[in-house]
Structure 1
Amino acid sequence: MANDFDTTILDKAISGTLLAIEEGKQQVFEIAESARKERQNLADEIEIIQRQVQETIQEVDRLEKEYRQARRKLVEVSQNFGHYSETTIKSAYDEAHLLQSQLLVIREREEALRRRREDLDRRLRNLEATIQKAEALVTQLSIAFSYLSGDLQNIGMALKSAEQRQYLGMRVIQAQEEERKRVAREIHDGPAQMMANVVLRAEICERMLDRDVEKVRDELRELKEMVRASLAEVRQIIFDLRPMALDDLGLVPTLRRYLASFQDKHQIIAELKVFGREKRLNPALEVAVFRTVQEALNNIWKHAKAKVANVKLELTEKQITVHIDDDGVGFPVEEALQSREAGHFGLLGMQERIQLLDGKVEFKSTPGKGTRVLITLPFTE
């Protein structure tokens, strides 16, 4: 029929617009980051020039004082011309002339330094304005992206089959049981075994106490190190279950610690960048974001073969947006989301966790060209 309308054309148009917005947003991120680095460089240079100005002012004061003394000496010689030798008169004139020349040079230097400082101050103010504009533009692009992606996201949600929901529920239960087994195994193989060894060696120390004190002292030192190692393992298990820093410090400091630990442990460069004012969020939202970032980084370590992983947090008045990028091998997104392999359950779990808080998750990846995970969550009281 002539009046039929092909909605795929509209979907493609919206998808193209969303891609352009996302690329533009990334460029604005890079501009803001570059402006921040330049701002720091300018601030450092201004500090150096400020010190040079102070030193120059002190030098000017010293030369002016010496020049006034030389002028007084020259006036005295001129007024009593007959009482001084030609050499003394010439020396007084030369000294006054030299100090006058030095004073002119140092005053010109002071003026040049002041002009340089004013120029840097002006550039610094311009950079501050650029950063503010970039942050405002990022916020506006985020709003536009969220608005345009709303309908497409709803369509995608509507196409989720009951079978996939059932499968996800079964996998959640299985994941819980696997997590319990993992924790039990880690405690049994780690701290429990070590504590049993500590008890055994403590009994040996008790028997040797009256016979070889030095040997007992050495054993106790080793026992102390074993207890410390066991305590570190217990703390790591507790962190994996629930990082205490999330309750005490909040999302951003906890993520910084986690990325530093992730980088040291897996030798993958991991960096966190935060845009907007840091603040405490709803506890459920902080946990959801942390666990999702943790799952994404775990996928990067296990599957991506990446060398670099970047996490960007954008905090606005109404929502939090998280970008997780890597330079790994990538994967076909649609195929992975439809897969029933256990290795792809993490993607579905990330979606489910964020959607429970009315958020959105988007995966962008091309084999051989890395992956991006985009998470958007509205703030809740």
Structure 2
Amino acid sequence: MRMPLRMFYLAIIQVILTSFIIYYFVSSQYRELSDLNVKTLETFLITQKEQELKNYIAIALSSVDHMAELSEDKKDVVKVSVANIFKNMLYNGDDGYFFIYDDKAIAIVHPKQPDRVGESWWDLEGENGDKIIQVLLANAHAGGGFYRYDWLKPSEKVKAPKLGYSIYIDKWQWMFGTGVYLDDVYSQLNNLHQEIDFHINYTKKIILIVALSSIFFIFLFGIAVNLSHKKRAEAKISELGQRIIDVQEEENRHISRELHDGIIQTLISIKYSLEATTFFLRKNKQEKPASLTQAEDNLGFAIHEVRRISHHMHPQILDELGLSAAIENLSRDFAKQTNIEIKVSKPSLKKLLPDFINTTLYRVVQESLTNIKKHAGAKCVLIDISIQQTWLTLSIKDDGVGFDVNAITKQQHSGIGLRNLAERVEYHLGKFHISSSKTGTEITVKIPTKSFANYFNHLNRAVKQNDT
């Protein structure tokens, strides 16, 4: 795995793990803090309710304090009067009332459930198994106390959690109490829990969005980095390919020069020596040996072949007279060898193009003519070179049998090959296009003028710097 891709995956994994850890700790801490706050609020609300019940009891008892001083012989009458007072003493609508039981759990006062009055409820059990009236009596005898239990809520006719408070009145031997329903408290707490859950879920969504956004941006960054690496790699490969081509061309130029200036000159001197020998024999009226004639013929063929090879590797005319002259010369040789009519249309390009453009276009023409000779069966070839606006265009068109472009371009060819030609052209930011049908084939090369205009700009600046 390449290092950038590995770092990309590590970054995504780190974001996922970090997001998970942050979510876990934030949600757990938030949950703990929220539960603590809810518990504190519940305690506060219950404390308020307890104080409220004590206040109700105190107010109710204060309303009958004056009756506690009456004589003992009127005790029963007083108790009936007090009971009637408490029976009609209501608060908080229908849900706030007072109840009275004696030590045997016989109901004395119960405004909302009068059918309980006069009966003992000693064994009345709550849903948790507690003896409700016994607990209230025990709390009352203990000096007053609170007790939570479920009881019918008058306003809604359903059971609801209730907080009861009871005290004991020694003078009348009553357990006197009241209570408030806690469903509103639990409703507030439940709403608070829902709000907490909402905030936790909202936090989770925020963390998820941040995580996904981070992964998305890392993904985009990774793609950008990979594309950048890919472009740099492709540029380096293209540059390396061009360097290889340049080295090959330079080597071909060197070998061509060595053949032309070295071996051909040596062969020509040998030819002169053979011709001198022939002249000497004729002067002495001696017959010219057949072997000498054969040697002269072989030597002439060798000189021709060496010149042809030298010219094919790198024509000196391309360096000396430019692209136009080199293509014309190549076309003449092609026409002589194949008897195919060839027409060349061109501007004067002797000093306009740099060597690397000249070499590329010359190789395109050379390879195209080679393919036409081998495969096209053409009778006429048109070569057109033009400069229009910002493009240098080379077109090579024949009237041959054509070929399957897709099949051919996917194959490796001997020599330079069409694919290598296309890569050469593309290295100069150019376009290489082949179209072919049964009526002929056309190869079009387009190179932007900026590819070689910049070359001359740099060259001129370098010359000026050298002059200064």
TM-score, normalised by the number of residues in structure 1 = 0.43
More strand as a share of residues: 2
Q: Which has the larger radius of gyration?
A: 2
Higher relative contact order, structure no. (Cα contacts within 8 Å, ≥ 6 residues apart): 1
TM-score, normalised by the number of residues in structure 2 = 0.36
More helix as a share of residues: 1
